[in-house]
Amino acid sequence: MKMIKRIFILVLALITVVLIHYYLPQRDIVEVVNTDVKRMDISKGSPFWDRPDAGTDKQNTRDVRFIYTVNEKGKTRVYRNEDTGWSFPFYLKFDSSDLSAKAQNLANKEGTWVAVTHYGWRIRLFSIFPNATKVKQVSGPDVFLVPWFNIVFLGAIFLFLFWIWSLVRKWKKKNVDPITDKIGEELDDIGETVGGHAKKAKAEINESRSGLRKWMRRWFGSK
């Protein structure tokens, strides 16, 4: 049972880490080189795509905006630019058109570095792109941005889990531990009782054997 419990906790922790890494915002310092709109066939309920622009029809085939960038080392990074609306994840993004216009304006300014806030992964094998939620001009490629939102969010999650753990621990100490202690005491009493009977039975057997040996010696003699 302990092994099964450890495996379950490990799998749950792994799933939690994966979801947090996918949905929490990340920022890349890049230079915007172009924007584009592509017609994409997206199946309904696909986990790696969001929603069409607010107010438009939800169809499987639709236009998706993209932002093309390069980082300081010349490595390309491509982001999709989709609204999230009121649904999960709750980025409340309704301005993909404005973001595309802003990105195109920055692309026309050579040597302009921006911080692209996004969530999701780039998996080329399955044509999966992170979704850009914000584009902000920065001073240069070496700028350091403190991820305050992630720090506060993860800190709040940690405090919440610690609070839950404390409640469970107190409840266990109040309701479960007395029962297990009582069961343990009863098992000890049973063990002592069984042990006492076993010692008594052993003494009676030894006494019987001693009496048998005396009888044998009386009738058959002893060597």
The confidence band for 156, taking pLDDT boundaries of 50, 70 and 90, is: very high
In the chain, count of helices (H) and strands (E)? 4, 5
55 contacts 85 by C-beta, under 8 angstroms? no
Domain parsing of the chain, residue ranges: 25-145, 148-223
Q: Quick one: pLDDT at residue 54? A: 58
Measured CA to CA in angstroms, residue 166 lies from 12, 144, 158 at distances of 20, 37, 12
Q: Quick one: pLDDT at residue 221? A: 58
Q: Quick one: pLDDT at residue 105? A: 94
Q: Quick one: pLDDT at residue 193? A: 72
**Burial of 15: CB neighbours in 10 Å, binned 0-12, 13-18, 19+:** exposed
The confidence band for 126, taking pLDDT boundaries of 50, 70 and 90, is: confident
Asked whether the predicted pLDDT for residue 186 surpasses 80, the reply is no
11-35 per-position pLDDT tens digit: 999 999 999 999 999 999 999 999 9
Q: Does domain 25-145 have CATH number 2.30.30?
A: no
Higher pLDDT, 108 or 179: 108
**Which of 11, 7, 35, 179 shows the shortest CA–CA distance to 98?**
35
